[in-house]
Chain A
Amino acid sequence: MTTAPSIPTLPIIDSPIHPALTNVSLPSFVDEHELPSREGSRVIQFREALREAMSEEMRRDPRIFLMGEEVAQYNGAYKVSQGMLDEFGPQRIIDSPISENGFAGLGIGAAMYGLRPIIEFMSWSFSLVAADQILNNAPKMLYMSGGQWGCPIVFRGNNGAGGQLGSTHSWCVEALYSNVPGLKIAIPSCPYDAKGLLKTAIRDPDPVFFLESERMLGDKAHVPEEEYYIPFGRAALRREGSDCTIVSFGRPVNFCLEAAAELANEGISVDVLDMRTVRPLDSAAIVRSIQKTGRVVVVDQCWPFASVASEVITQVVEKCFDYLDHQPLRVNTDDVPTPYAKTLEQEYLPHKRKIIEAVRSAVGKA
């Protein structure tokens, strides 16, 4: 489908100059309609789609390795890397000490010298102890060296409320981290995108934060066996309507689709835009949709203050204020630490009822 780029064999790369930039040509990206069909015979889990993306890339490119806690012997704390140790061996599937800052920093050093690390955080909640490496080193290396030292690295792991894990283990990092220039953030909502976006992330010459969700790893869907790369910064229109635009990303996209189905029964039809990446953000797709609907609800699983939803709404106001027939609305989590208790956690999330209420109020049918 997408043209496979040529990848050099290991010994060729011996220069620290632009290791990322000179040696890999990125896949030539295609439009949404040119991506392989979502319908097909094979249904696999989200975690399998992630594994397939990593394995396909690793088979082709010997520079790629996977490192993290429990990724090898144990097949991954969430079984994402199941079987990868057997296939790729301990040189490339590497169990690390419990040392997030450690393996983040090691990965950066390795990336600066031309390897292509995939660093798994068991949870993005634990990336906080690696803040200096992932925020102060990785995304600034290229800039601070006047364009010389690229840092092609993927950090990936579970993001968001995993289901009663308590506040310290339920972080959504997209709001916090997307403030930093120099990094990219991909956040798939379904197995199909998980594969296509992760393959793109691995090929990307810049640091990519890849946010998965523990709650979605078992989700099953059609995922083509062939290789495909979903371009960053291109939203997918998941459902088409005319009354209101719903903008979301990651797991809440699924809540939006449920809400949209119910709203249809009330005669309200909505566009559901899945951003796929929040950095870069496909604001053009948002503007196009709002030019049609005149209304927007942003659904975001982070806290509301200075969130991605805030950013989307700011850009909407900057770019298509005149098209708005109602003030932009957002559905975030409640502005409190993630509750531990089941009922409270469920209510805290940006769930279907909240979305439906927001859309109703945007279209004036509250």
Chain B
Amino acid sequence: MPKKTAYQAKIEHIQILDEQGKLDAALNKGGLGDEDAVFLYEQMTVSRTYDEIAFKLQRSGRMGTYPQNKGQEAGPGGIGLAVLHRGKKDWLVPCYRENLALFLNGLPMEKILLHWMGDERGNQIPEGVHILPISIPIGTHPLHACGLAFAEKYRKTGRAAVTFFGDGATSEGDFHEACNFASAMKLPVVFFCQNNFWAISVPRAIQTGSETIAQKGLAYGMPCFQIDGNDIFASYKVGKDALELAVEESRPVFIEAITYRLGDHTTADDARRYRDSAELESWQKKDPLIRTRKYLESKKLWNDKKQADLEARAKKLTEEVVRKAEGIEKPGIDDIFDYTFAELNDELRTQKRTLRTASLAQHPEQERLSR
């Protein structure tokens, strides 16, 4: 018996806007227009400002821990805008490094601050906004995206679910079960991996032996793309195509966005202890803001005056958001109990009334003493 090839595949890397701000117009056909590029540039700048202010809030003790998005605005920005433009209200199922995708699709900006200030109400999503709360157990939420996509398919709404996760998350079992489920059940899910080369202090090389993260999707029969994650044009175009493919063919699609975490993992981390400064500097040159601005300037769509104006607006907007987040009244003590079950049960009602542990509260005698 002659040997034959049982399976063969290749992964394309797609870059439309390079580090110098040069656009490949042919590749961008049907992609992001210049007006939207200006819009995304402004939004990315707002997101960056938000990030910087959040960092300062943490440093001055006004917020708990915060994971900076710095340097990773383009990936979530591009696909986030593609979701917005589709107008179908596809679901966004985030981890924590894609603020811009959420803002673009209607999440009030103070929600993310409120969340990291340590308030459950930061996860209350306004009605009609199809975004899930930030997920902390790494890699567990892509399964929820599958569930949402399943529910949408069940209802025949034509909506997809986009889920974001990091390179580290792809080592979790849940991630693989989500890929397998989406593929076996033909669910319209776009898996969007932000490969920023680090999972806290663990480099990408330790995370997996695969040459690319994108190829992980191949094993699950998905169309797979690797994009320059610092390129809004690539993220928008590939994101848009992926969403269409996912919905039209009812199947999952995998996107690996190559990017870099320009900040620390979170405010509780100091990346200088494990990261080479030369590596950081090389990526600072690939910053999505720099290349997008270069492109817009080359097209005479941007100038220093507009920049100064934008920075002032971004600062003002963010400060307003901070005021809003900090102005929200602290939760009442009742909130400790109220959201455990849809309806408060007897035990919790007693605990709520007495503000004591079960043991003290539930003895009738002691209950009297405790008041």
Distance between A26 CB and nearest chain B CB, rounded to angstroms? 9
Contact A133-B184, Cβ < 8 Å, known A11-B155, A319-B363: no
Q: How many residues of B contact A (CB 8 A)?
A: 52
Contact A148-B125, Cβ < 8 Å, known A111-B147, A319-B363: yes
Q: Which of these binds chain B: A28-36, A112-120, A219-227?
A: A112-120
Indicate if the CB atoms of B124 and A97 lie closer than 8 Å: no
Known: A102-B177, A106-B143, A146-B124. 14 other contacts (CB 8 A): A20-B342, A91-B154, A101-B174, A105-B144, A106-B147, A112-B144, A113-B151, A115-B151, A137-B140, A144-B133, A146-B119, A146-B331, A148-B123, A149-B132
Distance between B278 CB and nearest chain A CB, rounded to angstroms? 38
Indicate if the CB atoms of B128 and A15 lie closer than 8 Å: yes
Contact A16-B181, Cβ < 8 Å, known A105-B140, A280-B345: no
A–B pairs, 6, beta carbons within 8 Å: A99-B177, A109-B143, A112-B148, A142-B342, A145-B123, A146-B123
Indicate if the CB atoms of A318 and B140 lie closer than 8 Å: no
Closest A-B pairs by Cβ, 6 of them: A109-B147, A105-B143, A102-B177, A109-B144, A205-B342, A110-B147
Complex Cα distance, B131 from A113, in Å, reads: 11
What residues of A have a CB within 8 angstroms of the CB of B147 in the complex? Answer: 105-113, 117
Indicate if the CB atoms of A109 and B177 lie closer than 8 Å: no
B361: nearest residue on chain A (CB-CB)? A318
A67: nearest residue on chain B (CB-CB)? B150
B150: nearest residue on chain A (CB-CB)? A110
Of the candidates A16, A109, A142, A233, the one having the most CB atoms from chain B within 10 angstroms of its own CB is: A109
Contact A315-B362, Cβ < 8 Å, known A102-B180, A113-B151, A146-B121: yes
A13: nearest residue on chain B (CB-CB)? B155
- Chain A positions near chain B (C-beta within 8 angstroms): 10-11, 15-17, 20-21, 65, 91, 94, 96-97, 99, 101-115, 117, 129, 132-133, 136-137, 141-150, 181-182, 184, 205-206, 233, 280, 314-315, 318-319
Indicate if the CB atoms of A147 and B338 lie closer than 8 Å: yes
Indicate if the CB atoms of B140 and A133 lie closer than 8 Å: yes
Q: Is residue B335 within 8 Å, beta carbon to beta carbon, of the partner chain?
A: yes
What residues of B have a CB within 8 angstroms of the CB of A280 in the complex? Answer: 345-347
What residues of B have a CB within 8 angstroms of the CB of A184 in the complex? Answer: 341
Complex Cα distance, B178 from A16, in Å, reads: 21
Q: Is residue B120 within 8 Å, beta carbon to beta carbon, of the partner chain?
A: yes
What residues of B have a CB within 8 angstroms of the CB of A205 in the complex? Answer: 341-343
Indicate if the CB atoms of A109 and B150 lie closer than 8 Å: yes
Indicate if the CB atoms of B146 and A105 lie closer than 8 Å: yes
Q: Is residue B8 within 8 Å, beta carbon to beta carbon, of the partner chain?
A: no
Complex Cα distance, B149 from A137, in Å, reads: 18
Q: Is residue B340 within 8 Å, beta carbon to beta carbon, of the partner chain?
A: yes
Q: Is residue B240 within 8 Å, beta carbon to beta carbon, of the partner chain?
A: no
Indicate if the CB atoms of B120 and A143 lie closer than 8 Å: yes
A102: nearest residue on chain B (CB-CB)? B177
Contact A109-B140, Cβ < 8 Å, known A144-B133, A146-B121: no
Contact A99-B123, Cβ < 8 Å, known A112-B147, A280-B346: no
Indicate if the CB atoms of B144 and A101 lie closer than 8 Å: no
Q: Is residue B127 within 8 Å, beta carbon to beta carbon, of the partner chain?
A: yes
Distance between B364 CB and nearest chain A CB, rounded to angstroms? 8
B93: nearest residue on chain A (CB-CB)? A109
Complex Cα distance, B93 from A137, in Å, reads: 14
What residues of A have a CB within 8 angstroms of the CB of B209 in the complex? Answer: none
Indicate if the CB atoms of B339 and A181 lie closer than 8 Å: no
Indicate if the CB atoms of A145 and B120 lie closer than 8 Å: yes
What residues of A have a CB within 8 angstroms of the CB of B364 in the complex? Answer: 319
Complex Cα distance, B54 from A79, in Å, reads: 55
B174: nearest residue on chain A (CB-CB)? A101
What residues of A have a CB within 8 angstroms of the CB of B181 in the complex? Answer: 96-97, 99, 102-103, 106
Indicate if the CB atoms of A97 and B184 lie closer than 8 Å: yes
Indicate if the CB atoms of A65 and B154 lie closer than 8 Å: yes
Indicate if the CB atoms of B143 and A133 lie closer than 8 Å: yes
What residues of A have a CB within 8 angstroms of the CB of B154 in the complex? Answer: 65, 91, 110, 115
Distance between A180 CB and nearest chain B CB, rounded to angstroms? 10
Q: Is residue B370 within 8 Å, beta carbon to beta carbon, of the partner chain?
A: no
Complex Cα distance, B146 from A101, in Å, reads: 12
Of the candidates A114, A145, A150, A181, the one having the most CB atoms from chain B within 10 angstroms of its own CB is: A145
Complex Cα distance, B342 from A138, in Å, reads: 13
Q: Which of B119, B151, B342, B358 contacts A109 (CB 8 A)?
A: B151
Complex Cα distance, B140 from A187, in Å, reads: 28
Indicate if the CB atoms of B339 and A101 lie closer than 8 Å: no
Indicate if the CB atoms of B132 and A112 lie closer than 8 Å: yes
Complex Cα distance, B124 from A91, in Å, reads: 31
